[in-house]
Amino acid sequence: MQLTEREEGGVAILQPKGKIMGGPDATILREKIHDLVSDKKLRVVIDLSKVDWMNSNGLGILISGMTTLRDNQGDLKLANVTDKIQSLLTITKLITVFEAYDSVEEAVSSFGARA
C-alpha cells in the first residue's frame, strides 16, 4: 500500500493505493491519522478508488482511523468504495458503521462548511 494526501475545503483526503493486506500497512495509516490529529485536521476522507483489494487488516485500519478521529471530535468518511470492498463491508455489517459517498466531492461537502 502507498498513501498520498491532499486537502480540499479544509478536509484531508487520504488515497491508499494497491493492496491493503497487513504488515506495515496499518502502521503507516495509523501514524498518518495521528499526524492529522496533531495538526487538528480532523475531517478526513479515505478515497478507496485506487485500492485493488483489502483483507480484514484494511477494514481494521478504517475502523481505527474512524474511532481515533471521532475520539478527537473529528470524523472519517469513505469515498469511491469499489464493488469488492463494498461486498466485504456488507458481509461484515460494517456498511452500517461507515458513512460512504460515491465521490470525493460528495464526501468532502458532507462535512459542511469549513470549521
Partner 1 sequence: MSQAPRDSRRLVIPSEPARIAQADEFIEKALREHDLPDGLVSDLAIAATELVNNAILHGNKKDPSKSVTILVEFSSGVVMIRVEDQGAGFDPSAVPDPLAQENLLREVGRGIFIVRSLMDDLTFERVPGGGMAVVLRKSYDPA
Ligand X SMILES: Nc1ncnc2c1ncn2[C@@H]1O[C@H](COP(=O)(O)OP(=O)(O)O)[C@@H](O)[C@H]1O
**x/- letters, 25..44, toward ligand X (CB under 6 A):** ---------------x----
Q: What is the DSSP secondary-structure string of 24-39?
A: THHHHHHHHHHHHHHT
Evaluate whether 6 touches 41 at the Cβ level (below 8 Å). Answer: no
Q: What is the footprint of partner 1 within residues 54-93 (CB under 8 A)?
A: 54-57, 59-61, 63-64, 67, 71-73, 84, 88, 91-93
For partner 1, which is the closer residue by CB, 22 or 106? 22
Overall residue count recorded for the chain in this entry: 115
3-state secondary structure of 90: helix
CA distance 96 to 38: 28
For a copy of itself, which is the closer residue by CB, 17 or 30? 30
- Which residues would be at the binding site for partner 1 (CB under 8 A)? 19, 21-24, 34, 37-40, 52-57, 59-61, 63-64, 67, 71-73, 84, 88, 91-94, 96-97
